[in-house]
Structure 1
Amino acid sequence: MTDQRIPLAGVIGSPVAQSRLPRIFGHWLKAMHLPGVYVPMDIVQADLAQVIRTLPKMGFVGVNIAAPYKETVMSIADLITDRATLIGAANTLIFRKDGKIHADNTEGYGFIESIRRAAPDWSARNGTAVVLGAGAAARSVIASLSDAGVPEILLTNRTRVRAEKLKEDFGQRVRVVDWVQAGNAIDGAALVVNATVLGGVGKPELRVPLDGLRPGTVVVDLVYTPLRTHMLQEAEQFGCITVDGLGMTICQAVPAFERWFGERPTMDEPTRAAVLA
């Protein structure tokens, strides 16, 4: 219809050129024959608040938020979901028709959904989860695992004080383990998650002993460049079920796409192929 505005959305970060989100959203819009445009926006922090408040006037229905602004946008939003409050960061902003900016965090949803797709038999009741890292990604992982009902989460980080801070925020279900004992913590775990940047392109390798892994253990690496990290390759040799980080990236985009464009997309192999092309 000529009187209907084409909905606009995008991702804000700095840098943002490396984001896979434009490929994901672009593929869905084309595959579903929907009007809409999704654009990457590299914005300096000094302009962030002004840009976000201006976007709705330009026809934007929402934006994803990338590093380093996931915490900053919390102070810009008018409304914040409980899960974004718990995590302390937002990766999705919805521009409501009443003019208010609604902040949400869909990373935990994307994390759990990616596991369920790759490992359908996994259950939160299977046992202990080990989380490597204590940054923003780890917060989302711990929040989602706690919400799912994992009985115990062993958290380890190179800087222990950061891990202790997460324990304070998430309670007794989380137990901090020294980084040098990470290999021992993995022994017998039902789920192991690398929530650090270690093992990614241009980063040091993740040097945690994995010989405690057992067949059937679900091993997740949130790093997706490279897609098959050394951790996942080694885990496969132990007979583990492996989950790469691209699945979480795609799955966390599903709720935002549905809110902004009115249709729920499918997380399928054509989507992965479009992102990896």
Structure 2
Amino acid sequence: MTSLGFQASSLKAFLTIPEDVLGTFRKLSDMGYRVVQLQWISPDVPDEFVADALRETRLTCVSTQDYYSVVSDNLGRFIQMNKLWNSCLMCVSGIPREKMSVEGLLAFSVELGQMADVLRENGLILTFHPRVSDYTCIEGRPAVDWLMDGMPDDAQLTIDFYSVVKAGLNPIKLLERYSGRVDMVHFKDSVILPDGRENLMPVGQGHIAWPEIFEACQKAGVKWGFAEQESWQKDAFICAHESYEYITSHGILSPP
């Protein structure tokens, strides 16, 4: 069964000092969230403080995330961070632009495979988070497909349904294609304004057809779905709560 969580990068502005980190975690816990993915907490906040704040607010971190280049340049620190926070997944995002060819993608998959090997030795699983541009077709196939073909079988794909829809792909078919390799997904929504601008919205208040996606996640055995919204038209915590209310009303529940 897919459990609901929250992607903390959505609240980057509130993760700059220890007191705000604790307060943010407490607000999420009070809403009913019990699982988080952590990203973009200020380096000025000690990792040990974050671990204590998680325990105090009864939140479980199952994943951290950052850009591939950031993680690869600081792999030792990310490994220790994940261990300290009891995380099991290391999520990286972003195919470098210079790798957007068949040869480049296969070479990049080797790099990711090497990272996956080191993470596995430390009890962690690598998962790749494609951005919109990472679904660009290269010789008739989305770039991410070339990438996943060359990665170890235990390496996973984190599907951000907003990015998939924006790239013009069918999110349910993508999920079905990688069923068994998708433990974690992101729920993010948006509206397109009459002038063409786009606003991110709480889940369920945008243009994405969520009920079918939620059902597909359950069928595919996705373990965690994280609400995400990095910009807001009103109070960020109200948005987080509205996402919680909508998603749980459709059967994706927060753990006890």
Query: TM > 0.5 between the two?
Result: no
More helix by share: 2
Structure with more relative contact order (C-alpha pairs < 8 Å, separation 6 or more): 2
With normalisation by structure 2, the TM-score equals 0.32
What TM-score, normalized to structure 1? 0.30
